[in-house]
A and B are shown apart, each in its own frame.
Chain A
Amino acid sequence: EAGVVQSPRYKIIEKKQPVAFWCNPISGHNTLYWYLQNLGQGPELLIRYENEEAVDDSQLPKDRFSAERLKGVDSTLKIQPAELGDSAVYLCASSLEHRLAGAPGEQFFGPGTRLTVL
């Protein structure tokens, strides 16, 4: 079974430029998450989708960040314009509905996109 797929793996951009990250969750996982992980810190949730609906975007900085999951499968996270402080690893994760999961709440993470803003 394929895991969570993310691209690109690495991205280097100048500040004020736009950037986009793509995620394809594990087949059958209806819940998708975007996290930001700074060096030496745990992942911090940016947004959670149930199918195509963003059910928790309270931590997403909406002035510059946006996300979409139009058909309830893959998702895109965008930053426009990027700032120096946005340099981090952006992780995508997915999970089954709790009632179907062997470990309800378990999230499966993709390899992440390491963003460097110069």
Chain B
Amino acid sequence: QKEVEQNSGPLSVPEGAIASLNCTYSDRGSQSFFWYRQYSGKSPELIMFIYSNGDKEDGRFTAQLNKASQYVSLLIRDSQPSDSATYLCAVLNDYKLSFGAGTTVTVRA
């Protein structure tokens, strides 16, 4: 079992819709959870982080964490063509960051 698993995608959504990305992790001791965005040919950039159970909102992005279910999600509201990218879920455990394979999102204009 991989440490971090994401829904494989690709995910295609119309402009203005909600994109929903899911991630599960295997280590219950994981401390912090991150969502990175990676445009094609570019390096990952952090867009959200969450440490506590519940929701965290930042602009059009909402991260949700459920430690009991070992589940993290990212919602992108009012999706824009500029949101088209690969979204990487990353989990921190003892200073080591483990990444999922990513979910590629395409926003259709």
Contacts and interface: CB of A to CB of B under 8 A. Distances in A.
B99 interface: yes
A14 interface: no
B99 A104 contact: no
A109 B44 contact: yes
Interface stretch (A39-47, A60-68, A73-81): A39-47
A106 interface: yes
Contacts, number: 51
A110 B95 CA distance: 19
Contacts of B44: 43, 91, 109
A48 B98 CA distance: 13
Interface string A86-118: 000001000000100001111111111000000
Interface residues of B, number: 21
B49 A44 contact: no
A42 B42 contact: no
Nearest to A58: B96
Given A42-B88, A48-B95, A104-B32, A110 B43 contact: yes
Interface string B1-37: 0001000000000000000000000000001101000
Given A42-B4, A111-B43, A112-B43, A105 B101 contact: no
A69 B30 CA distance: 28
A53 interface: no
Q: Is the interface of A mostly helix, strand, loop or mixed?
A: loop
Interface residues of A, number: 22
Contact of A48 (B34, B96, B102): B96
B100 A42 contact: yes
Contacts of A41: 101-102
B54 to A, nearest CB: 17
Given A91-B43, A103-B49, A112-B43, A45 B90 contact: no
Contacts of B43: 91, 109-112
A105 B99 contact: no
5 contacts: A40-B101, A42-B88, A42-B102, A43-B99, A112-B43
Interface of B: 4, 31-32, 34, 42-46, 49, 88, 90, 92, 95-102
